[in-house]
Amino acid sequence: MMGQRTTTLAIILGGALMLLMPTLASAANLSGQEGDVRRKVMYMNNVSGGCASIFKRYIAASGHSAFAATTIHYWVGPGHVCGISINAGSQKSAEQRAMASCQAALKKYKGAGEQKIVGPCYVHISK
């Protein structure tokens, strides 16, 4: 009788674990991952400061995060503006907050936008 209960309990627990596996996988740590790439972001490993350091913070983030930046017009100048949202409640929320951060930075450095040195903000990657 005891062996039958143990077997039944093992089967129930095994089934419950199989049902929980997708949930456990979706709650995995996102640290070190790029996520959904819409526009490839490329910074040299030895570059520091500005958007490169913000991008590295995005990659290191463990939760839903997003990186937004303006387009880069190399023929006018190599500068661009970026924004980030780290560990938001959802990917969509992170994207909205990153866009708001990028647009606020664009207003702060409004000379760049007025002189057409940089383009509008876009979400480049999110997870």
How confident is the model at residue 83, as a pLDDT?
A: 95
How confident is the model at residue 122, as a pLDDT?
A: 93
The residue with greater pLDDT, 79 or 92, is: 92
Decide: pTM greater than 0.75: no
For 18, 39, 41, 52, the CA distances from 82, given in Å and listed in that order, are: 42, 13, 11, 9
How confident is the model at residue 25, as a pLDDT?
A: 45
Average pLDDT over residues 13-27: 46
